[in-house]
Amino acid sequence: MSIENKIKKEIESFTCQMNKRIATIGTTARTSQSFAVLPRRQALGFQAINFLIEDPESAKTCMKYLDGKVRYLLIDIELKKNIDLMTLAKTHIHQSKIHTYKPNDTTLEAADMFLRNYFEDQLKDKKILIYGAGNLGTKLALRLAERGSKVYLDSRNQSKTIEIVRVLNYLLPRQSKNFIKSVQDPHELSSKMDVFIAFTSASNVIPASSLHFMKKNGLAIDGGIDNFTPEFIQKAADYNLQCYRLDVRTAFPHTVLYLNEHTKNFYQHIQGEIFVDHIRIVAGGIIGFEGDIVVDNISQPKQLVGVANGTGGLKLLDEYTSSDHTNVRYVQEKIIIE
């Protein structure tokens, strides 16, 4: 089946209105077929069809056929291949709206969400071994350590892993109880891990011998797709291990937040500044000048937050000038919507 026919089939799957239709085009660090259709996703009223490409010609064909048939085209901005998808999109997309997206961020959120759900948000002191010290493995290691997990990071390059772990531990809060550790003596981890997570771009690299790290009734997650060898999966039953391939669809809302009306509404109607009788009123994180009145919502203010001190904070009540008191009363009486 041609690329055009594959895309046509995906377009026909839409059941939403045009303004909620999304197509994503991405690449992967691993070697793959020149064009692949990924599982469809939906959240927050949006529906997405998803494509993975390997070369510029496939990207051009995909983009030209999709243009005007979806409202939004989300372009993978992470350079995993020597293909500049954004430049290609700006050249070949004329009707659909182009936006960037980062699949790795979606994958990170999916992994975090999965673990929180699996352990009922009780990740403190869980012993978690992550194999893969690349983009995803390191980000997830930091995230889980911040949640209080006991994280061990391993990879094929031990010296690189040791350096990454050193840097990650600098980023953890000073009062953290559990710092990330690199795996230097695998025997020390024998039968101690609650979770094993693989995040590597290579296939069939986690052997059955890695099961010796695991406690009985533990959890194994293939985050990089086909990281586990068949022997690992087959023998996992001997350890009563639950094996999962990470499904990133749970984090699709994270992908579409930029397009969501809630996000648009914040920047268009909540954040901003106005002048009322020479009184400057700000909202939505704008750092006010000294004496500015800070409110919760610039379009329909319902709460007076305070008076700006001019250095990024709010004045204490005993620091108000007579002008501040006058302005506060005016805003409360004339501007605040009860």
Pair 45, 20: CB distance under 8 Å: yes
DSSP 222-248: E-SSS-B-HHHHHHGGGGT-EEEE--G
- Name the packing angle between helices 135-146 and 103-118 (round to 10°): 40
Name the residue among 139, 261, 240 with its Cα closest to residue 199.
139
Along the 338 residues of the chain, how does pLDDT read in single tens digits? 799 999 999 999 999 999 999 999 998 876 667 889 999 999 999 999 999 998 899 999 999 999 999 999 999 998 777 889 999 999 999 999 999 999 999 999 999 999 999 999 999 999 999 999 999 999 999 999 999 999 999 999 999 999 999 999 999 988 888 999 999 888 888 899 999 999 998 889 999 999 999 999 999 999 988 899 999 999 999 999 999 999 999 999 999 999 999 999 999 999 999 999 999 999 999 999 999 999 999 999 999 999 999 999 999 999 999 999 999 999 999 888 87
pLDDT for position 186: 85
SS3 content of the chain, % helix, strand, coil (to 5): 40, 25, 35
Helix (H) or strand (E) holding 326: helix 322-330
Q: Which domains does the chain have, with CATH numbers?
A: 3-101 (no CATH), 105-250 (3.40.50.720), 267-335 (no CATH)
Rounded to two decimals, the pTM is 0.87
* Residue 24 near residue 99, CB atoms below 8 Å: no
Question: In this structure, are strands 293-295 and 304-307 parallel, antiparallel, or unpaired?
Answer: antiparallel
| CB distance 293 to 328 below 8 Å | yes
Q: Among all chains, which residue has been given the structure tokens 């690189």?
A: 160
